[in-house]
Amino acid sequence: MRRLWGLTLSLILTAAFAVSAVAQQPAAPAPAAPAASGTPAATPPKPKKPKTPKPPATPGAATTTPAAKPAGAATAVGGAGTKLLGQYGDWGAYTASPGGKKVCFLIAKPSSAQTNPPNRPRNPVYMFISTRPADKVTNEVSIIIGYPFKPTTEAAADVGSTSFALYTQQDGAWIKNAADEAHMIDAMRAGQSAVVKGVSAKGTQSTDTFTLKGLSQALDRTGQECK
């Protein structure tokens, strides 16, 4: 189940940040107000007669393709219509329907990402918290770490003084003991940060810190959407 959900994350991630980017675009400027009563409006310039375009010099000449319009607030990627429910601190709350099954999820990037040795290249890192009613899954924590984990090794997520063991597979990590999932969510609701530590296949150690401000509000919002 986790493997199948992990394969869906990349599509949902693409859709979620496409929607977020569109939502953050500035609004189009409002049209100019009409002239006040009694004041003659300026006469608009007489439009020029368009010139007849010349044919290409050669039959195979290239033509310019108009730029595509940005996606709307609900973007379909891989069949998953993704909608931004709200941004709460570092946490974005979303809903989507991959394969026709409604899911709700939170996404956050780390506020701090370090490697030892330092400055090792990595793909973007994200923490997800997903609720999938059709699978009877509520607030499942998963991390995309940005590199393949060292095989047969575990990672860890520290929230306050409590450490939670993480099962790893390729570049993903999940709570090893499912019974600890609700405990971790409660700790994150009350905590200030979550620190995820792991080791790559090449032996690089990583430490990623996620700020938890806004997490409780984001969880409440997705809880309302996916009851």
* Residue 48 is assigned to a structural domain of this protein: no
Domain count, the chain: 1
* Residue 154 is assigned to a structural domain of this protein: yes
What is the tens place of the pLDDT at every residue in 160-203? 999 999 999 999 999 999 899 999 999 999 999 999 999 999 99
**Residue 22: exposure state from Cβ atoms within 10 A (0-12, 13-18, ≥19):** middle
* Residue 70 is assigned to a structural domain of this protein: no
What is the tens place of the pLDDT at every residue in 19-44? 554 444 544 444 444 444 444 444 44
Is the link from the previous residue into 117 a cis peptide, with omega within 30 of 0? yes
DSSP one-letter string for 190-220: H-SEEEEEEEBTTS-EEEEEEE-TTHHHHHH
* Residue 201 is assigned to a structural domain of this protein: yes
User: From the CB of residue 4, how many other CB atoms can be counted at a distance below 10 Å?
Assistant: 9
- pLDDT category of residue 15 using cuts at 50, 70 and 90: low
Which CATH number covers residue 199? 2.60.40.1880
What is the tens place of the pLDDT at every residue in 85-116? 999 999 999 999 888 889 999 999 999 999 99
* Residue 14 is assigned to a structural domain of this protein: no
* Residue 41 is assigned to a structural domain of this protein: no
* Residue 56 is assigned to a structural domain of this protein: no
Domain coverage including residue 216: 84-225
Q: What is the mean pLDDT of the chain?
A: 77
* Residue 55 is assigned to a structural domain of this protein: no
Considering only CA atoms, which of 96, 101, 79 is closest in space to residue 17? 96
Which pLDDT score, from 0 to 100, does residue 227 have? 84
